[in-house]
């Protein structure tokens, strides 16, 4: 879903060769023109915050793979980040303080630790962080 490991991680989406529509995650068919000729592309790593909310309780697991213990769960932001000329990406945000999130602010892709699996290996996920 993203290039990793990498110093400059990028989300991998797809682009419709017929109409130029971008999709994330990768899709084999284009919802705009119903074309099936798509290619994988690396998406922009910066975009603007389109809308957001704060997830204050553990999401349903599965598919949620992070900490779902209500006692130790930490709230996190979720939102849509609009990548210029491409697509709106639903993503976890690194910031959960409503005072620090503003629609239209510039956001940058980061890779953050999510949890560790049963083997003790770290699971990472992508998130967007406000550009300082």
Residues that bind Zn ion (CB under 5 A): 16, 18-19, 21, 30, 32-33, 35
90 vs 122: CA distance, rounded Å:
22
Output the smallest distance, CB 118 to Zn ion, in A. Answer: 41
Count CB neighbours of 112 within 10 A: 12
Pairing of strands 122-130, 88-93: parallel
- Residue among 31 and 56 whose Cβ is closer to Zn ion: 31
Output the smallest distance, CB 15 to Zn ion, in A. Answer: 9
Cα 34 to the center of its chain, rounded Å:
24
Output the smallest distance, CB 11 to Zn ion, in A. Answer: 19
- Residue among 16 and 127 whose Cβ is closer to Zn ion: 16
- Residue among 30 and 101 whose Cβ is closer to Zn ion: 30
The closest of 44, 41, 45, 50 to 20, measured between CA atoms, is 41
- Residue among 18 and 115 whose Cβ is closer to Zn ion: 18
Q: Which residues pair with 88 in a beta bridge?
A: 82
Output the smallest distance, CB 16 to Zn ion, in A. Answer: 3
The closest of 34, 39, 32, 31 to 15, measured between CA atoms, is 39
């Amino acid at each position: 879903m993203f290039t990793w490991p990498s110093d400059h991680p990028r989300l991998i989406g797809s682009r419709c060769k017929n109409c130029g529509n971008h999709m994330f995650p990768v899709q084999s068919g284009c919802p705009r023109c119903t074309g099936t000729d798509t290619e994988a592309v690396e998406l922009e790593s910066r975009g603007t915050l389109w809308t957001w909310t704060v997830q204050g309780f553990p999401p349903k697991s599965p598919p949620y793979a992070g900490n779902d213990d209500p006692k130790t769960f930490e709230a996190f932001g979720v939102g849509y980040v609009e990548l210029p000329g491409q697509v709106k990406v639903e993503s976890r945000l690194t910031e959960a303080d409503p005072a620090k999130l503003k629609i239209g602010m510039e956001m940058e892709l980061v890779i953050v630790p999510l949890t560790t699996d049963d083997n003790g290996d770290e699971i990472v996920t992508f998130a967007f962080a406000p550009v300082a």
